[in-house]
């Protein structure tokens, strides 16, 4: 497979409402798209790195820089036969998984479009639609939170995830559980905001029958999560800590994770994401697909991944309208709490040219 052109394109996507997590508040999503051309087809990748290195060490300017200066030149020099060879060709570059994932996604999309195969078929999807949860940010007040959760349930979302942080945990969770009842599928995500000394406080969440608590401690603290998992009844789920299938295997063996949130961008791409799915399935560990406020491009691939058999919990694969009034692709629209897995070649969706132009802030075709 010969790359004939690579574009790095930056877009600015205004959010329908500010999204607050324990590490900050986003108003606009600054996204790096990677477009590749081969002799047969064009493919799109979406980088999930955020504007600042607050979710993880990566950030969008850094991703663009490492793609431009290191990853694309390494890929061009290595003359890979297919998308499966992209990660090995990039392995000399340490880290930068979000940047690598975007490049691999673009190459895989081009390959699959040329062959007329979909992401779902390639990854091993066994469903044609997936149930969708929604991630609800930290609010200024509990009444505001209850209104937001009620609105999402009215839209059909089948599972609610509450972002939490110290000072915004037990009371909002209690309020949501009391208002919406015991049947609501409910989980929480701390994005590393707690310390191991908070374990007894976090045990108070056991009273609310949560599906899981996601990443309470620092991403490098596997032992802390293992200790917590022994102390509380709520299953512990790792997100930020899992960068690879090897990480997942280690975390499972240590007892640090009982559920895994798989985000392809965080782990270097959809092919490594599938390996994590396989490792977890072999250990009987349920997985679900996380989200990074993707456009329709990343959303299409995430929905395909979430249709694999081990994804037994609803993911954060929300509809386009959860985050964006206008998506760059045709929007993903919720149907009775589900999104359809795209069946067309490659991602099965393509940017609408005028929508893409309207949000583009920069475009750069690299010298190959």
Among the listed ranges 32-40, 147-155, 183-191, 223-231, the one in contact with Mg ion (CB under 5 A) is: 183-191
> Which contiguous run of DSSP H or E holds residue 129?
strand 129-131
Catalytic (active site) residue 2:
no
Question: What whole-number distance in Å separates Cα of residue 49 and Cα of residue 55?
Answer: 8
Count of residues in the chain: 368
The only residue of 109, 189, 294, 316 in contact with Mg ion, by rule CB under 5 A: 189
What is the nearest approach in angstroms of Mg ion to the Cβ of residue 61?
23
Q: Does 239 bind Mg ion (CB under 5 A)?
A: yes
User: Closer CB to Mg ion, residue 102 or residue 238?
Assistant: 238
Burial 82-95 (b: 16+ CB within 10 A, else e): ebebbbebbeeeee
Among the listed ranges 64-72, 232-240, 294-302, 333-341, the one in contact with Mg ion (CB under 5 A) is: 232-240
Q: Is residue 159 within 8 Å of residue 290, measured between CB atoms?
A: no
What is the nearest approach in angstroms of Mg ion to the Cβ of residue 237?
8
What is the nearest approach in angstroms of Mg ion to the Cβ of residue 326?
26
Catalytic (active site) residue 263:
yes
Chain residues 98-157 in contact with Mg ion, contact rule CB under 5 A: none
Q: Is residue 266 within 8 Å of residue 98, measured between CB atoms?
A: yes
What is the nearest approach in angstroms of Mg ion to the Cβ of residue 240?
7
By CB under 5 A, the count of residues binding Mg ion is 3
User: Closer CB to Mg ion, residue 214 or residue 327?
Assistant: 214
Q: Is residue 277 within 8 Å of residue 295, measured between CB atoms?
A: no
Task: Give start and end residues of each alpha helix (H) in the chain.
Answer: 60-66, 72-78, 86-90, 97-115, 119-123, 142-155, 170-180, 199-203, 222-231, 245-254, 270-282, 296-305, 353-359
User: Closer CB to Mg ion, residue 64 or residue 228?
Assistant: 228
Site residues (vs Mg ion, CB under 5 A): 189, 214, 239
Q: Which residues are catalytic?
A: 163, 263
């Amino acid at each position: 497979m010969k790359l004939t052109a690579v574009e790095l394109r930056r877009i600015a996507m205004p959010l329908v409402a500010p999204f607050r997590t324990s590490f900050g508040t986003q108003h606009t999503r600054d996204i790096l798209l990677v477009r590749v051309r081969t002799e047969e087809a064009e493919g799109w990748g979406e980088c999930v790195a955020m504007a600042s290195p607050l979710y993880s060490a990566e950030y969008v300017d850094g991703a663009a820089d490492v793609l431009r200066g290191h990853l694309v030149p390494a890929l061009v020099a290595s003359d890979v036969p297919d998308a499966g060879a992209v990660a090995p060709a990039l392995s000399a570059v340490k880290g930068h998984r979000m940047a690598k994932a975007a490049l691999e996604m673009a190459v895989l999309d081009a390959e699959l479009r040329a062959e007329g195969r979909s992401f779902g078929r390639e990854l091993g999807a066994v469903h044609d639609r997936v149930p969708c949860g929604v991630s609800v940010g930290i609010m200024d007040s509990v009444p505001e939170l209850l209104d937001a959760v009620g609105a999402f349930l009215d839209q059909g979302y089948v599972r609610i995830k509450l972002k939490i942080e110290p000072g915004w945990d037990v009371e909002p969770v209690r309020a949501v559980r009391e208002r919406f009842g015991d049947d609501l599928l409910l989980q929480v995500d701390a994005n590393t905001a707690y310390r191991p000394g908070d374990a007894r406080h976090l045990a108070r969440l056991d009273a609310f029958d949560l599906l899981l608590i996601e990443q309470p401690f620092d991403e490098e603290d596997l032992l802390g999560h293992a200790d917590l998992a022994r102390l509380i009844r709520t299953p512990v789920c790792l997100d930020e800590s899992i960068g690879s299938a090897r990480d997942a295997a280690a975390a499972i063996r240590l007892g640090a994770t009982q559920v895994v949130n798989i985000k392809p961008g965080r782990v270097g791409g959809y092919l490594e994401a599938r390996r994590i799915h396989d490792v977890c399935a072999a250990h009987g560990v349920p997985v679900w697909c996380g989200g990074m406020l993707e456009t329709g491009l990343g959303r299409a691939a995430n929905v395909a991944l979430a249709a694999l058999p081990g994804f037994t919990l609803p993911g954060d694969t929300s509809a386009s309208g959860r985050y964006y009034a206008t998506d760059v692709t045709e929007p993903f629209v919720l149907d009775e709490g589900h999104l359809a897995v795209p069946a067309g070649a490659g991602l099965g969706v393509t940017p609408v040219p005028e929508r893409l132009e309207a949000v583009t802030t920069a475009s750069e075709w690299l010298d190959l």
